[in-house]
Structure 1
Amino acid sequence: MKDASDESTAREHRQRVLKGATIIIDLSKSEISCTIRNQHSNGAELRVPLGVEIPTEFTLYVPTDGVAYYSKVRWRRGERVGVQFTGSGPKPKHHYG
């Protein structure tokens, strides 16, 4: 089911990138390494190893950007995961990357 915001996000230019990132599940330092394959102002496509479970909402820390993106899973196909950014913040204090 798509709404108007889904369609505008799908039409937005997605810049191809290859960035290392970390999915931070909670403040107890539970982390999953992933790769960003393309990114735009409202979201990104991540590559996450098959079989790795991720929650529907999490913080995505991107060291090269120095930003933590609050993210919501929009779709998943195999190892590809599409996320929508719902906000951003500074580097998490407990993350050393």
Structure 2
Amino acid sequence: MTENELRGKRRQRVLKGAAILTGINNSGVMCTVRNMHPGGAELKLPIEAYVPDEFLLYVTKDRIGYKAIVRWRRDDRIGVEFAGTEPKPHWHYG
């Protein structure tokens, strides 16, 4: 099966700035949302960045925080599944 067949939904190509908020020391990793659909997204991030298996993805333009679960990792990209939304934490500047 190809990755597209496993995904089950076609993602819309986008280019949005976002932050991966881990809650570890109130830290965030800046990333770019490359494509997304209501159930998930593909993110591009610095290759050296530490990203846990679950985190809050805050998409600045949308002003939405997505509860994200990592489904795959490849070099400087990760694929995530959305498991709902929640407000942006008060400590995040964006």
- Please say whether Structure 1 and Structure 2 have the same fold, judged by a TM-score greater than 0.5: yes
Measured against aligned partners, the alpha-carbon deviations of 1:4-59 in whole angstroms (never above 9, x if no partner) come to xxx88712120100000000011632110000000100110000111212100000
Q: Is the 8 Å Cα contact of residues 20 and 35 (structure 1) preserved in structure 2? A: yes
Q: Is the 8 Å Cα contact of residues 38 and 44 (structure 1) preserved in structure 2? A: yes
| Residue-pair matches, total | 92
TM-score by length of 1: 0.86
TM-score by length of 2: 0.88
Question: Which one of 86, 90, 93 corresponds to residue 89 of structure 1?
Answer: 86
Structure 1 runs of 4+ with >3 Å offset? none
Give me the CA root mean square deviation: 1.9
1:57 aligns with 2:54: yes
Q: How does 1:26-45 map to 2 (within 5 A)?
A: 26=23, 28-45=25-42
Instruction: Please list every run of 5 or more consecutive structure 1 residues that lacks an aligned counterpart in the other structure.
Output: 1-6
Instruction: Please list every run of 5 or more consecutive structure 2 residues that lacks an aligned counterpart in the other structure.
Output: none
1:48 aligns with 2:79: no
